[in-house]
Amino acid sequence: EPVYISDFILNIDNSQPVLNGSYYGNGKFYMFNRALVDCIDTKIRYNGNRNEDAVFGAMVYNGCGPDVLKISEDDSRIWHKNYDSKSVKINLSALVNH
């Protein structure tokens, strides 16, 4: 079963029917499984500039249909890893303003 983890926002884009009605993440890292990758519509066509999250959501919506298990993202359950050694400092946590 296709699984998609995100903070789902309904896309209402009447100027782009292929994007209208899909759900997308709002700039946050989302996760998905191989079954979702296998069913997404990679040939989606739209006009003009669009947010990449909205396009990915439309690829899921148009390719996988309603059979996607949507799991709402829960930031409290994300392990925020920090690495600090010599001159290398990596913070893999979410931005504070998200």
pTM of the model: 0.71
Is it the case that residue 96 has pLDDT exceeding 60? no
pLDDT (mean) for 10-24 = 88
- In DSSP terms, which residues pair with 4 in a beta bridge? 32, 70
The DSSP annotation for 25-78 comes to -SSS--EE-HHHHHHS-TT----S---HHHHHHHHHHHHHGGG-EEEE--GGGS
pLDDT (mean) for 37-41 = 95
Length reported for the chain: 98
pLDDT (mean) for 34-54 = 89
The mean predicted confidence, pLDDT, of the chain is 82
